[in-house]
Amino acid sequence: MKAVLKPVAALGEAVIGGVSEVGRVFQFFVLAVALAFRRPFRFGLLMQQAEFVGVGSLFIIVLTGSFTGAVFTLQTVNGLAQFNLESVVGTTVMIGVTRELGPVLTALMVTGRVASAMATELGTMRVTEQIDAMEVMAVNPMQYLVTPRVVASAIMVPALSMLFVAVAYAGSYLVAVQLMGIDEGAYLSRIRMYVTPFDVMHGFYKSIVFGILLAVVGCYKGFNAAGGARGVGEATTKAVVIGSISVFVIDYVLTSILMRFEPSVIGG
């Protein structure tokens, strides 16, 4: 009987552990946000983190965005050509990039670069007892280390996402109009006709959530690292894996919610 119940008990423990971990991460997030409104306001640290998250990620975002727009356009042109619908290539690509690919790929790129760095830095500070030393000196480590990173990420990831969309549009235009010979007027007019401010805000709202998410996960894993260098490595790996998976899960949830407010859906 015990052998039969053992897998059930293991599953129950895993579920309870996962739910508890989500609760601790949420509590960590709430505390970090609450401390953003408490003195002292550390604008210098915020600017440093904004530069690290935003400026440091410019190259990879521009590179990824331009080739994403180009490749997506190539595939879309080939698919729509079978139905003589090449004129809607611009609309198809831009809605897909603005709503989904821009926010999601930006979040994944920033997770790989920024969340891992946050986990490594804070994890190293934890295992070398630097965070404990800050507490002894009456410096709140959450306010000093975590809050600036979360706020900076919430600001800079949406900006990076908009940049991604812009360069993806440029890559799409070059491939569609200059290389594939699609009529420029039809390409641009369809975009103006069908790509709405709702599409832009759809991606913008997602980017804010993704920015907060990846920073919170990275900081949480680093802040609670233990076990020396190996523990820091494990925290970094978990930050990237959990952050990346969470982006896809939250993307589905946000898409389901935001589509309920889409004007065309309400009108239909």
Give residue 194's identity as a one-letter amino acid code: Y
> In this model, does residue 8 exceed pLDDT 80?
no
Kindly report, residue by residue over 203-254, the tens digit of the pLDDT: 999 999 999 999 999 999 999 888 888 889 999 999 999 999 999 999 999 9
Is the omega angle on the peptide bond into residue 40 within 30 degrees of 0, that is, cis? Answer: yes
Give residue 84's identity as a one-letter amino acid code: N
Beta-sheet strands, E only, within 49-126: none
Q: What is the pLDDT of residue 265?
A: 44
pTM for this prediction:
0.89
User: What CA–CA distances, in Å, run from 225 to 23, 128, 198, 219, 237?
Assistant: 17, 11, 41, 10, 11
Closest CA to 264 of 198, 201, 190, 203: 198
- The pair of structure tokens assigned to 220 is 């949480």
Q: Tell me the Cα Rg of the chain.
A: 22
User: What CA–CA distances, in Å, run from 74 to 35, 87, 96, 118, 195?
Assistant: 47, 13, 14, 36, 20
End-to-end CA distance of the chain: 56
Q: What is the pLDDT of residue 266?
A: 41
Kindly report, residue by residue over 149-179, the tens digit of the pLDDT: 999 999 999 999 999 999 999 999 999 888 8
Kindly report, residue by residue over 69-110, the tens digit of the pLDDT: 999 999 888 887 777 777 788 888 899 999 999 999 999 999
